[in-house]
Amino acid sequence: DAGVTQSPTHLIKTRGQQVTLRCSPKSGHDTVSWYQQALGQGPQFIFQYYEEEERQRGNFPDRFSGHQFPNYSSELNVNALLLGDSALYLCASSLSYGLTSSTDTQYFGPGTRLTVL
Amino acid sequence: DAKTTQPTSMDCAEGRAANLPCNHSTISGNEYVYWYRQIHSQGPQYIIHGLKNNETNEMASLIITEDRKSSTLILPHATLRDTAVYYCIVRVPPDSYNNNDMRFGAGTRLTVKP
Protein backbone atom coordinates (compact mmCIF):
# COMPACT_ATOMS: atom_id res chain seq x y z
CA ASP A 1 0.00 0.00 0.00
CA ALA A 2 1.73 3.14 -1.22
CA GLY A 3 1.76 6.10 1.05
CA VAL A 4 1.54 9.71 -0.05
CA THR A 5 3.85 10.44 -2.96
CA GLN A 6 5.03 13.80 -4.27
CA SER A 7 6.89 14.92 -7.35
CA PRO A 8 9.33 16.27 -8.10
CA THR A 9 11.65 15.82 -5.11
CA HIS A 10 13.58 19.00 -5.80
CA LEU A 11 12.98 21.97 -8.07
CA ILE A 12 14.90 25.13 -8.87
CA LYS A 13 13.12 28.11 -10.41
CA THR A 14 13.82 31.80 -10.92
CA ARG A 15 11.79 34.75 -9.73
CA GLY A 16 8.65 35.40 -11.75
CA GLN A 17 8.35 31.85 -13.03
CA GLN A 18 5.46 29.50 -12.38
CA VAL A 19 5.70 26.04 -10.78
CA THR A 20 3.44 23.00 -10.49
CA LEU A 21 3.88 20.41 -7.76
CA ARG A 22 2.08 17.08 -7.71
CA CYS A 23 0.71 14.80 -5.03
CA SER A 24 -0.84 11.34 -5.03
CA PRO A 25 -2.73 10.54 -1.84
CA LYS A 26 -2.51 7.38 0.20
CA SER A 27 -4.70 4.61 -1.17
CA GLY A 28 -8.30 5.05 -0.03
CA HIS A 29 -7.91 8.71 0.92
CA ASP A 30 -10.07 11.38 -0.71
CA THR A 31 -8.84 14.64 0.80
CA VAL A 32 -5.57 16.41 0.07
CA SER A 33 -4.04 19.29 2.02
CA TRP A 34 -0.99 21.36 1.08
CA TYR A 35 1.49 22.95 3.46
CA GLN A 36 4.50 25.23 3.08
CA GLN A 37 7.43 24.77 5.43
CA ALA A 38 10.13 27.43 5.47
CA LEU A 39 13.52 26.52 6.87
CA GLY A 40 13.46 26.18 10.65
CA GLN A 41 9.70 26.64 10.95
CA GLY A 42 6.68 24.36 11.28
CA PRO A 43 4.47 23.61 8.28
CA GLN A 44 1.92 26.29 7.41
CA PHE A 45 -1.46 25.30 5.94
CA ILE A 46 -2.06 26.51 2.38
CA PHE A 47 -5.35 24.89 1.38
CA GLN A 48 -7.33 21.67 1.30
CA TYR A 49 -9.15 19.91 -1.53
CA TYR A 50 -12.08 17.54 -1.37
CA GLU A 51 -14.39 16.45 -4.19
CA GLU A 52 -12.27 18.50 -6.57
CA GLU A 53 -13.04 21.73 -4.73
CA GLU A 54 -11.03 23.96 -2.45
CA ARG A 55 -12.71 23.55 0.94
CA GLN A 56 -10.43 25.51 3.23
CA ARG A 57 -7.66 28.00 2.73
CA GLY A 58 -4.94 29.37 4.94
CA ASN A 59 -3.40 32.84 4.79
CA PHE A 60 -1.77 32.58 1.38
CA PRO A 61 -2.16 34.91 -1.65
CA ASP A 62 -4.02 34.04 -4.83
CA ARG A 63 -0.70 33.25 -6.49
CA PHE A 64 -1.13 29.88 -4.79
CA SER A 65 -3.78 27.77 -6.46
CA GLY A 66 -4.57 24.13 -6.70
CA HIS A 67 -6.54 21.42 -8.31
CA GLN A 68 -7.82 17.99 -7.41
CA PHE A 69 -8.49 15.34 -10.02
CA PRO A 70 -11.20 12.64 -10.06
CA ASN A 71 -8.61 10.08 -8.89
CA TYR A 72 -8.02 12.32 -5.81
CA SER A 73 -4.52 13.32 -6.83
CA SER A 74 -3.74 17.01 -6.58
CA GLU A 75 -1.56 19.78 -7.93
CA LEU A 76 -0.27 22.93 -6.29
CA ASN A 77 0.48 25.85 -8.62
CA VAL A 78 2.44 28.92 -7.65
CA ASN A 79 2.60 31.88 -10.05
CA ALA A 80 4.99 34.82 -10.14
CA LEU A 81 7.48 33.12 -7.83
CA LEU A 82 9.19 35.19 -5.15
CA LEU A 83 12.42 34.44 -3.32
CA GLY A 84 10.29 33.94 -0.19
CA ASP A 85 8.46 31.04 -1.81
CA SER A 86 11.57 28.91 -1.34
CA ALA A 87 10.45 26.17 1.03
CA LEU A 88 9.56 22.52 1.47
CA TYR A 89 6.05 21.95 0.13
CA LEU A 90 4.22 19.13 1.85
CA CYS A 91 1.13 17.26 0.78
CA ALA A 92 -1.03 15.40 3.28
CA SER A 93 -3.93 13.07 2.59
CA SER A 94 -6.78 11.87 4.75
CA LEU A 95 -10.16 10.20 4.58
CA SER A 96 -12.71 12.83 5.46
CA TYR A 97 -16.19 14.15 5.09
CA GLY A 98 -18.63 11.54 6.17
CA LEU A 99 -16.60 10.80 9.24
CA THR A 100 -16.96 12.80 12.41
CA SER A 101 -14.25 10.94 14.19
CA SER A 102 -10.86 12.33 15.02
CA THR A 103 -9.33 9.20 13.65
CA ASP A 104 -9.13 10.54 10.10
CA THR A 105 -5.50 11.30 10.58
CA GLN A 106 -3.48 13.20 8.00
CA TYR A 107 -0.57 11.36 6.44
CA PHE A 108 2.21 13.42 4.92
CA GLY A 109 4.35 12.87 1.86
CA PRO A 110 8.11 13.46 1.76
CA GLY A 111 7.71 16.93 0.27
CA THR A 112 9.06 18.89 -2.68
CA ARG A 113 11.98 21.21 -1.98
CA LEU A 114 11.49 24.37 -4.05
CA THR A 115 14.35 26.83 -4.43
CA VAL A 116 13.66 30.19 -6.05
CA LEU A 117 16.74 32.08 -7.29
CA ASP B 1 -8.00 26.09 17.33
CA ALA B 2 -6.15 26.46 20.61
CA LYS B 3 -2.51 27.51 20.69
CA THR B 4 0.18 25.26 22.08
CA THR B 5 3.45 26.00 23.86
CA GLN B 6 6.38 23.59 23.74
CA PRO B 7 10.01 23.84 24.83
CA THR B 8 12.32 24.71 21.98
CA SER B 9 14.66 21.79 22.54
CA MET B 10 15.30 18.78 24.79
CA ASP B 11 17.95 16.10 25.14
CA CYS B 12 17.44 12.49 26.14
CA ALA B 13 19.85 9.60 26.71
CA GLU B 14 19.45 6.59 24.46
CA GLY B 15 17.37 3.87 26.11
CA ARG B 16 15.77 6.25 28.56
CA ALA B 17 12.21 7.59 28.42
CA ALA B 18 11.72 10.88 26.61
CA ASN B 19 8.98 13.04 28.12
CA LEU B 20 7.89 15.92 25.88
CA PRO B 21 5.55 18.47 27.46
CA CYS B 22 2.94 20.62 25.77
CA ASN B 23 0.80 23.39 27.22
CA HIS B 24 -2.60 24.10 25.69
CA SER B 25 -4.33 26.12 28.38
CA THR B 26 -7.00 27.52 26.02
CA ILE B 27 -8.10 24.14 24.71
CA SER B 28 -11.85 23.82 24.29
CA GLY B 29 -13.98 20.83 25.18
CA ASN B 30 -14.15 19.30 21.72
CA GLU B 31 -10.51 19.80 20.70
CA TYR B 32 -8.22 16.82 20.39
CA VAL B 33 -4.48 16.76 21.11
CA TYR B 34 -2.34 15.40 18.28
CA TRP B 35 1.37 14.68 18.16
CA TYR B 36 3.46 14.49 15.02
CA ARG B 37 7.20 14.31 14.53
CA GLN B 38 9.43 15.33 11.67
CA ILE B 39 12.77 13.74 11.09
CA HIS B 40 15.19 15.96 9.18
CA SER B 41 14.02 16.73 5.63
CA GLN B 42 11.12 14.28 5.75
CA GLY B 43 7.37 14.86 5.96
CA PRO B 44 5.72 14.92 9.41
CA GLN B 45 4.81 11.52 10.82
CA TYR B 46 1.69 10.91 12.90
CA ILE B 47 2.41 9.56 16.38
CA ILE B 48 -0.70 9.60 18.53
CA HIS B 49 -3.77 11.62 19.48
CA GLY B 50 -6.32 11.83 22.31
CA LEU B 51 -9.22 13.77 23.76
CA LYS B 52 -9.15 13.33 27.52
CA ASN B 53 -8.08 9.80 28.30
CA ASN B 54 -4.49 8.63 28.25
CA GLU B 55 -3.60 6.82 25.06
CA THR B 56 -0.89 4.34 24.12
CA ASN B 57 0.18 2.81 20.84
CA GLU B 58 3.24 1.05 19.51
CA MET B 59 5.16 4.32 19.20
CA ALA B 60 4.33 6.32 22.30
CA SER B 61 2.03 7.16 25.19
CA LEU B 62 0.03 10.35 25.57
CA ILE B 63 -0.81 11.61 29.03
CA ILE B 64 -3.41 14.40 29.20
CA THR B 65 -3.99 16.19 32.50
CA GLU B 66 -7.46 16.08 34.02
CA ASP B 67 -8.10 19.75 33.23
CA ARG B 68 -6.77 19.10 29.69
CA LYS B 69 -4.59 22.19 29.82
CA SER B 70 -1.41 20.25 29.22
CA SER B 71 -0.18 16.92 27.94
CA THR B 72 3.00 14.86 27.78
CA LEU B 73 4.19 12.63 25.00
CA ILE B 74 6.27 9.73 26.30
CA LEU B 75 8.69 7.72 24.16
CA PRO B 76 9.38 4.85 26.57
CA HIS B 77 12.81 3.78 25.30
CA ALA B 78 14.27 6.49 23.08
CA THR B 79 16.63 5.49 20.29
CA LEU B 80 18.91 7.60 18.13
CA ARG B 81 16.28 7.36 15.36
CA ASP B 82 13.82 9.23 17.56
CA THR B 83 15.87 12.41 17.10
CA ALA B 84 13.38 14.75 15.43
CA VAL B 85 11.18 17.83 15.87
CA TYR B 86 8.02 16.93 17.77
CA TYR B 87 4.85 18.94 17.19
CA CYS B 88 1.91 19.16 19.55
CA ILE B 89 -1.31 20.29 17.82
CA VAL B 90 -4.82 20.80 19.11
CA ARG B 91 -7.78 20.88 16.75
CA VAL B 92 -11.48 20.31 16.53
CA PRO B 93 -12.70 17.13 14.92
CA PRO B 94 -13.55 17.51 11.24
CA ASP B 95 -17.00 18.33 9.96
CA SER B 96 -18.42 19.05 6.56
CA TYR B 97 -16.99 22.54 6.25
CA ASN B 98 -14.07 22.75 8.62
CA ASN B 99 -11.85 19.84 8.23
CA ASN B 100 -8.43 18.64 8.92
CA ASP B 101 -6.02 21.52 8.52
CA MET B 102 -3.26 21.07 11.04
CA ARG B 103 -1.86 24.25 12.64
CA PHE B 104 1.77 23.55 13.46
CA GLY B 105 3.90 25.61 15.82
CA ALA B 106 7.67 25.48 16.04
CA GLY B 107 7.74 22.20 17.96
CA THR B 108 10.37 20.70 20.26
CA ARG B 109 13.66 19.53 18.81
CA LEU B 110 14.46 16.29 20.64
CA THR B 111 18.04 15.05 20.46
CA VAL B 112 18.67 11.50 21.64
CA LYS B 113 22.29 11.05 22.67
CA PRO B 114 24.30 7.82 22.94
pLDDT tens readout for residues B63-76:
999 999 999 999 99
Distances (CA, A) of B55 to A54, B45, B60, B63: 33, 17, 8, 7
Q: Report pLDDT for A1.
A: 61
Q: Is B96 on the interface with A (CB under 8 A)?
A: yes
Alpha carbons within 13 angstroms on the beta-carbon side of residue B47 total 26
Higher pLDDT, A80 or B1: A80
Q: Report pLDDT for A83.
A: 97
- Does position A20 have pLDDT exceeding 80, yes or no? yes
Mean pLDDT of chain A: 91
d(CA B48, CA B34): 6
Interface of A with B in 52-91 (CB under 8 A): 55-56, 58, 88, 90
Test the A interface: residue of B8, B49, B52, B99 with most A CBs within 10 Å = B99
d(CA B57, CA A5): 25
Mean pLDDT of A40-49: 91
Q: Report pLDDT for B94.
A: 59
